[in-house]
Structure 1
Amino acid sequence: MMFEGEPEAWLGIDLGTQSVRALLVTADGTVLGAGTAPLTNHRDGVRHEQDPGEWWEAVCTASRSAMSLPRGRGSIAGLAVCGTSGTVLLTDAQGRPLTRGLMYDDGRAMAEAARVGMQTSWALPKALWLLDAHGPGRVTHQPDVITAKLTGGTVPTDSSHALKTGYDAEHEAWPPQLAHLGAVLPEVVRPGTRLGEVCRAAAEATGIPAGTPVVAGMTDGCAAQIASGALRHGAWNSVLGTTLVLKGASARPVRDDAGVVYNHRAPDGSWLPGGASSVGAGALPAGADPAELDKEAAAYEPSGVLTYPLASSGGERFPFFAPEATAFTLGTPASEADGWAAVLQGVAFTERLCLDYLHHLGAPIDGPLTFTGGAARSAYWNQLRADILGRPARVPEQIEPALGMAVLAAYGTGTGGRALSEVADRMVRIRTVLEPRASHTARFTEPYARLVDELETRGWLPTPLATHTRNRLNQDTIDS
């Protein structure tokens, strides 16, 4: 629904762990409105749940805030919703929740994960646990609850969220080994597919005009990738928040027998390979002053200690799979700033090792690299990462997954036949381009090599990858 003289805009909705975020964005990337609403997390040991009813209430609040500016009202040409990858629940035939949502890091489905050969962070083990614990129901992903409420009826899920429920994205079908689940599994469509329109009841609750097209979304990681503009083959987006996620673009799936790297199907049928590490900003000490410690950390390049900064106790997932892996620090920091520097550098070393692993698998990694996620707000850490990686990096103005959903909504509602990458080129604004400083890159060669040795010695990093990494490091040294 449009009013005369108003700019055409699209609404992106991001269902995060801590909050729901909504952004109303025009075709040139101008943000007309933004809204947010907090979410409550219910944690108890390995249990982590959220109330699906609260998801909807938060969407209503965030959407109304995004629509509150006069120029934002009635201007929405479409919307899309992303959610946390691996979050799942059961609903009835009308799409009404029967259970709470089991979040991506809920750890109760260990037996089911072992049975199907998946990590507990994936959705299928949790779905099987729910079916066993709570009885019949329809397996539903987090955004499907919202799109069903928006359209007033059950809707298909998107293949991006279905991936971790065992969906075969290459053949675009549920695999034969899941045939016994039958109607329990939802219909699946590609991201960007039109699901329906906002119904009157939803319009009254959210402030989104009735009749607004609702487009199938993607996971939050893919949404962040779209928001980064990293959609042309060989481009990568490094999302650094509590943990680290790398997602790229490729003409073909990246094959990985170890199952560390997985492949989402892009709306145009190409591929978005990626992996999620357990290191990240979550390993930084709570209560510290990041701005002040960033300034002081510059005196410790490299740090006097070597840290592998896992942000959780669940082992490592990428660049290697080692459920038994734990965080470690070799040496004693000379000061609080030295310890802070060690974590920043340890995350960047892991990021470099992730890129080395992707190169080892034959993935295209020669395109532009973009930094997004909450940690991309740190100018010091951004430059440090570019220095340790030894390659340029871009930082967009907006680092919100909600922006990625606005871009996908614009693509899915028809943009004159333009590819998703072309739509993103118009809507994503790059704020900063970082160039690596060769003298700084050289400082980190020895500690990076030492970390690779330590990870291999502990039996977590496979020797073929360690060897490949050393060969690349030696070649870089020769070339420099």
Structure 2
Amino acid sequence: MSVWIGIDLGTQSVRAMAVTGDGQVLGTGSRALTSHRDGPRHEQDPDQWWRELAAATREALRDVPPEQVAGVAVDATSGTILLSDAQGRALTPALMYDDRRADAERVNEVGAHVWERLGYRRMQPNWGLPKLLWLLGDAPAGARLAHQSDFVNRRLVGHEVATDLSNALKTGVDLIEERWPAEVMDALGVPAELLPEVVRPGARLGVVCASAAGETGIPAGTPVIAGTTDGCAAQLGAGAQRVGSWNSVLGTTLVLKGVTKELIHDPLGVVYSHRAPDGSWLPGGASSTGAGVLTRELPDRDLDALSAQAAARFGPRASDGLAEWPAITYPLVSRGERFPFDAPEAETFTLGDPADDVERYAAILLGAAFVERLCFDYLDLLGAPVDGEIILTGGATRSAYWTQLRADVLGRPVTLRENAEPALGMAVLASADPSRMIRTRAVVEPSGADLSEPYLRFVTELERRGWLPAQVASHARERITP
């Protein structure tokens, strides 16, 4: 029985998982990571990544026979980089995914034609390439770029490794030609020898060396497979791998990721695409809407109890289309919206006047579900196929009431998985055969409720405030089934 090791190298922790080919989890391990934050600065110690990864893998493999281990893959946070030397030692702290000390103006000026062709149109200050230029100001001779996953993969195999297209996206890799855009890098003053080779996620990087085996417990000779970013890893773990399928992750915020044959170009710049292991595309976007609003608006309340009360109060009236709901809240975790439209000035609002905490809770849930529906409307407008399986993951799926509400708003069945965490996605990638590793917990069918009236009121209000473009609002109205 083969066992695959998936490692999720996140911001707050590193998690390892040992999974069989049929999806049975034989062992897990996790260790905390520490950050150093100060205003726009967010750094971590790369050597801590390795120490805690090694501890987590030893724990995950405690009861796994070494001869069964068949492969390992690592995911990491998108846009996290550092400089290392030729031996893989860190020369700088790691600049984390949300470190904002860099400036993207020069990057966007020089590389505009490439970023436009790749569909995302512009880079943000926290992306990898602006941060690389910032680090190069004090870089010693012989310094090399390393993404978060590159640093630990280098330790695993004991020699230089290629980086994957997914982690290299925000550092400016040309995803269409699958290479670094030499003319852009030259104009920015980035030496070619500083950049690693580039491969697709799923490519073999090497095998675990003897010294790494001693530290991690992963047997020497185990194949090391190029991973992805944490978001793409979660998508793989959810099993959204067929064209037209989508993984909707609703936790603190809302993130959608799907699969298309062709690269999606977004005139608003709120959707960008990764490259899948098979060469297809993984478009997605991240909203500022999410369940994080619940703890802000309903502090110290028992959310499970509120969910049960909302289901009892509104569930029987679902067939009435929820038009009698007293309120709809647009639940922004922070000021400004990123997807399905770009509105830095957007802020939370409520249509109606909720009478108590149950109505406030229900209004937030309904608004988040409407934003999710609007995301799919916008993706459809861009030409992305949205007719495949919709897989819901994230903390919001713990509420059966919210899950049913989302199915009703979408007017589509939604799928829940037994396990969809990024570490599982890396085990899936390492195995290259997800067919039996992904396990479905339930499929929730829509109840038949007609939610068009409150949804159209919500869309109209977003348009009236000048945040939602008229073309997007019009398309959302057209997609409402009579």
Task: Tell me the TM-score normalised to structure 1 length.
Answer: 0.89
Structure 2 counterpart of 1:21, one-letter code: R
Structure 1 runs, 4 residues or longer, greater than 4 Å off = 110-116, 133-136, 300-303
The answer to whether the 8 Å contact 2:104/2:124 transfers is no
The reply to whether residue 26 of structure 1 matches residue 20 of structure 2 is yes
State the match for 1:420 in structure 2: none
The reply to whether residue 446 of structure 1 matches residue 468 of structure 2 is no
Cα deviation for residue 300 of structure 1 reads 5.2
Structure 1 counterpart of 2:236, one-letter code: I
Question: Residue by residue, what CA displacement relative to the aligned partner does 1:22-59 show, whole Å, maximum 9, x if unpaired?
Answer: 11111111111111111223323333222222211221
The reply to whether residue 232 of structure 1 matches residue 238 of structure 2 is no
111, 122, 127: which one aligns with 2:127: 122
> What are the equivalent positions in structure 2 for 1:216-231 lying under 5 Å apart?
216-231=226-241
Cα deviation for residue 134 of structure 1 reads 5.9
Change beyond 3 A, Cα 1:324–1:27: same
State the match for 2:319 in structure 1: none
Alpha-carbon separation, structure 2, partners of 1:427 and 1:152: 30
State the match for 2:431 in structure 1: 410
Change beyond 3 A, Cα 1:92–1:312: farther
Structure 2 counterpart of 1:349, one-letter code: F
The reply to whether residue 282 of structure 1 matches residue 292 of structure 2 is yes
Cα deviation for residue 135 of structure 1 reads 6.5
Structure 1 counterpart of 2:460, one-letter code: D
306, 315, 333: which one aligns with 1:311: 333
Structure 1 counterpart of 2:261, one-letter code: A
Structure 1 counterpart of 2:173, one-letter code: Y
The reply to whether residue 95 of structure 1 matches residue 105 of structure 2 is no
The reply to whether residue 321 of structure 1 matches residue 321 of structure 2 is no
State the match for 1:208 in structure 2: 218
Cα deviation for residue 372 of structure 1 reads 1.6
Cα deviation for residue 390 of structure 1 reads 1.2
Alpha-carbon separation, structure 1, partners of 2:359 and 2:35: 33
State the match for 1:292 in structure 2: 305
Alpha-carbon separation, structure 2, partners of 1:242 and 1:120: 22
The answer to whether the 8 Å contact 1:24/1:72 transfers is no
Between 370-379 and 166-175, report the one with greater CA deviation: 370-379
Cα deviation for residue 235 of structure 1 reads 0.9
The reply to whether residue 62 of structure 1 matches residue 63 of structure 2 is no
State the match for 1:415 in structure 2: none
Cα deviation for residue 339 of structure 1 reads 2.2
Alpha-carbon separation, structure 2, partners of 1:323 and 1:108: 19
Structure 1 counterpart of 2:13, one-letter code: S
Cα deviation for residue 451 of structure 1 reads 2.3
Change beyond 3 A, Cα 1:198–1:121: same
Cα deviation for residue 72 of structure 1 reads 4.6
Between 288-297 and 430-439, report the one with greater CA deviation: 288-297
Cα deviation for residue 388 of structure 1 reads 1.4
The answer to whether the 8 Å contact 2:104/2:123 transfers is no
The answer to whether the 8 Å contact 2:164/2:199 transfers is yes
Change beyond 3 A, Cα 1:340–1:52: farther
356, 372, 388: which one aligns with 2:377: 356
152, 156, 166: which one aligns with 2:162: 156
Cα deviation for residue 87 of structure 1 reads 1.9
What is the SS of the residue equivalent to 1:143? Answer: helix
Structure 1 counterpart of 2:302, one-letter code: D
Alpha-carbon separation, structure 2, partners of 1:297 and 1:230: 30
Alpha-carbon separation, structure 1, partners of 2:98 and 2:367: 23
Structure 2 counterpart of 1:20, one-letter code: V
Cα deviation for residue 162 of structure 1 reads 0.7
Question: Residue by residue, what CA displacement relative to the aligned partner does 1:166-186 show, whole Å, maximum 9, x if unpaired?
Answer: 111111111232233122322
Cα deviation for residue 273 of structure 1 reads 1.5
The answer to whether the 8 Å contact 1:251/1:271 transfers is yes
Cα deviation for residue 351 of structure 1 reads 0.9
For structure 2, which runs of at least 5 residues remain unmatched after alignment? 112-121, 316-321
102, 107, 124: which one aligns with 2:100: 107
Question: Residue by residue, what CA displacement relative to the aligned partner does 1:367-388 show, whole Å, maximum 9, x if unpaired?
Answer: 1110122332332222221111
Give aligned-pair identity as a percent. 58
Change beyond 3 A, Cα 1:99–1:459: farther
Cα deviation for residue 102 of structure 1 reads 2.1
Structure 2 counterpart of 1:17, one-letter code: T
Alpha-carbon separation, structure 2, partners of 1:274 and 1:226: 13
Change beyond 3 A, Cα 1:53–1:326: farther
> What are the equivalent positions in structure 2 for 1:365-404 lying under 5 Å apart?
365-404=386-425
For structure 1, which runs of at least 5 residues remain unmatched after alignment? 1-6, 412-422
Structure 2 counterpart of 1:258, one-letter code: L
The reply to whether residue 145 of structure 1 matches residue 167 of structure 2 is no
Alpha-carbon separation, structure 1, partners of 2:453 and 2:230: 35
What is the SS of the residue equivalent to 2:277? Answer: coil
Alpha-carbon separation, structure 2, partners of 1:127 and 1:323: 26
What is the SS of the residue equivalent to 1:404? Answer: helix
What is the SS of the residue equivalent to 1:150? Answer: helix
Equivalent pairs, count: 453
Change beyond 3 A, Cα 1:48–1:330: farther
Alpha-carbon separation, structure 1, partners of 2:193 and 2:300: 48
Alpha-carbon separation, structure 2, partners of 1:110 and 1:304: 45
247, 250, 256: which one aligns with 1:246: 256
